[in-house]
Amino acid sequence: MSKKTQSKCNAGGRPLSYDPRLVHEIIRKGIEDGVPAADLDTAFVKAKLCSEHNVKDTIRQERLEGLVQAVHEELAEAEEQSLLAALPDTVALAVGNAVAAIGRELQLIVARQHSVCQAIADQKCEEVRTDKRNAQFRIMELEAALADQQNALLSLEQERDEAKRKLAEAQKRLHIATSEVDRLSREPSSVDRLLQELRNPAVRDDIRATLSEIVAAPSNPSSE
């Protein structure tokens, strides 16, 4: 790759003042030279770009950090693929079987826990359903009791109204009887009227004559 700086476009931004492939080359060469991956950071790459590829020191830090991270990820993935490709088939099969067995054990553990949780949940649901049925039954009992009380109250109200009606009739009859008693008490009696007539001088002579005739009349008339 050329040591001279090449201007390349970065997707979604302004053109870079260096070729992004230079970052990949610097990091790869550093790894080949035995430099620890942790030291192949943005500062290391920037120093190499400026000193070996004549890139200005004003390059954007965040763009360079993104490129450095992408190169490290790419190299790590390539290393993993290379290691896996070099692994013997028997080892890969054994590892796969072991992972499958571990996965099955994990699934059984999760399944058992799920079964326990499901049983607890079912029990709680049944308790809630039982409480709901009991509450509904209690509500029905209270509604029935309320209906009985309302019927009893209605019956009492009807009896009260009937008692009021009878009381009104009795009071009416009492008033009539009281009025009649008052009227009769104000009128003179027949004996009083007779005595009053007897004391009347205008009819006294007539009464005496009538009494004389009664006295003079024979009690047993003779038969012829």
Residue 39 DSSP one-character state: G
- Whether this prediction's pTM lies above 0.85 is answered by no
Q: How confident is the model over 49-62, as a mean pLDDT? A: 86
Q: How confident is the model over 201-211, as a mean pLDDT? A: 72
94 vs 211, residue with greater confidence: 94
Cα separation, 151 vs 57, in Å, equals 99
3-state SS, residue 71: helix
The pLDDT tens digits of the residues spanning 84-137 come to 888 888 887 888 889 898 999 999 999 999 999 999 999 999 999 999 999 998
| pLDDT value for 219 | 57
Please check the confidence at residue 33 and state whether its pLDDT lies above 80: yes
Please check the confidence at residue 140 and state whether its pLDDT lies above 50: yes
Cα separation, 174 vs 171, in Å, equals 5
